[in-house]
Copies of this chain bind each other. A is one copy, B any other.
């Protein structure tokens, strides 16, 4: 299996990308195609022992910067590392693509080159969140800000397959993010989506509230990309603020300063649990291929795990399974996806 890695994408590229790629090649038994500036990459690779490792370079001059407007940058730089990674995938030269670069550009490049998966109206970004009970796939995290019930239904299908096949969660419970658990509670969008999900073959348990996610009541949560993005950022902010507050308060209590030394292990374990690097990036589900969007701050471990996620998605043929469920159960006929 071959995975294209945008070697130039991310705040710490290309160093951590190379490091992560080499670890991934060993760990996940795959070939990694490093897409980026050949001279630079070859020079950096000299610092690593790459003998016998299936890592190759696809030379391309341009890079989409983190601050660039995604659509414009992708059009203006067809030979940028992220666009070439997507192109290699579309041409069948690799089986998946991974980027820690400009996430909007990663999405745009994947959509432009791979197009949508047959039967899927809107690809969605799926984020894996740690919960007190394990993991929860939440989607969409921001690809689609205005959604229809059909879209949320398809997100649920895609998230469910992903949870089952890539995260190894059998029969994942699916929830519809809403206000109030009772049937009929919510806005126009969720009330209509509820009807579609009830009739679906998914393990749908009904509406869930925001607090049900961290407490692990479901393994999959579907919502529109506006809600998903706002919620995720608020939750991250709250968790960070609580930790910050705790550190500030500890400084005020003389006895607590001492005891905080003993708590280092606790803080470290908690940090690890909430460490995005463990979960390896957010797949863009619903494109005709496998595209994984990694955090811009990715370290080598995050890159390695993102490549791992990509290999699992390919090995388990999640797209074939998504297509199959959508074909069998889609509530209304879905037209073939037009070009994006």
Residues on A lying within 8 angstroms of B by beta carbon are: 131-132, 142, 145-146, 177-179, 186-188, 190, 209-215, 223-227, 229-246, 249-250, 252-253, 255-256, 258-263, 265-266, 269-270, 273
- Chain A binding surface, main DSSP class: helix
Which of B223, B236, B266 interacts with A246 by CB under 8 Å?
B266
* Structural contact, B250 and A266, CB atoms closer than 8 A: yes
* Structural contact, A235 and B235, CB atoms closer than 8 A: yes
For A261, give the chain B residue with the smallest CB separation. Answer: B259
Which of B177, B211, B225, B233 interacts with A240 by CB under 8 Å?
B211
* Structural contact, B270 and A230, CB atoms closer than 8 A: no
Q: How far is the CA of A231 from the CA of B213 in the complex (A)?
A: 11
Q: How far is the CA of A252 from the CA of B261 in the complex (A)?
A: 15
Copies of this chain, tallied across the complex: 2
* Structural contact, A211 and B236, CB atoms closer than 8 A: yes
* Structural contact, B256 and A262, CB atoms closer than 8 A: yes
* Structural contact, B259 and A273, CB atoms closer than 8 A: no
For A230, give the chain B residue with the smallest CB separation. Answer: B210
> How many whole Å from A180's CB to the nearest CB in chain B?
8
* Structural contact, A211 and B237, CB atoms closer than 8 A: yes
> How many whole Å from A215's CB to the nearest CB in chain B?
6
Residues of B within 8 A of A214 (CB): 234, 237-238, 240-241
* Structural contact, B253 and A266, CB atoms closer than 8 A: yes
* Structural contact, A211 and B233, CB atoms closer than 8 A: yes
Interchain residue pairs with CB less than 8 A apart (20):
A145-B179, A179-B233, A209-B230, A209-B233, A210-B230, A211-B237, A212-B237, A214-B234, A215-B241, A226-B227, A227-B230, A230-B231, A234-B234, A234-B235, A239-B242, A249-B266, A253-B263, A253-B266, A255-B265, A258-B259
For A247, give the chain B residue with the smallest CB separation. Answer: B266
